[in-house]
Structure 1
Amino acid sequence: MAKYLISFPSAAMTVTGNELEVVGQAARAVIREAKAAGVYVFGGGIDETVPPVLVSASGVVAEGGYP
């Protein structure tokens, strides 16, 4: 089964206090759907101060940006 990574930098979204609850509910709904479909793998943050690397399916490691 294919696996997908959904990521974006912390600066990609700016929400107001009024929007935060709605955005949080929508994000949790996506996670529930992914879990129900059996495709949820991981949830958490990425430390943007750590230089990223890309690792291919064959194990080759290369410098790269966050996807």
Structure 2
Amino acid sequence: MDHIPEEDWPLVGEVSHEVVREAKAAGVWIFGGGVRRQQSTVVATDGTITIGPVPEQKAVIGGFSIIEVSSHEEALAWAARIAAGCRCAQEVREIMFDPES
């Protein structure tokens, strides 16, 4: 998010949080948060622990939002609102539902 000037961060934070409050009020918000830029830690099936790759410099996941909506179109509409609030493009993916989770 290097494209956001330091002096704009308070406004970006407030506008982004307002979108989250609206999503909560609409009943679609499940969870969200920022992701620290760091190497991942990979735990293999045998318990072996390996330090993962350094995140690429071109594309970084700065955070995520999980919402529950009835259609792909509605997800895209919320993604557009989130993108405008945080001034960052949003990648939209569907999470497979698992009734055991």
TM-score between both structures, scaled by the size of structure 1: 0.48
Choose 1 or 2 for highest CA Rg. 2
TM-score between both structures, scaled by the size of structure 2: 0.34
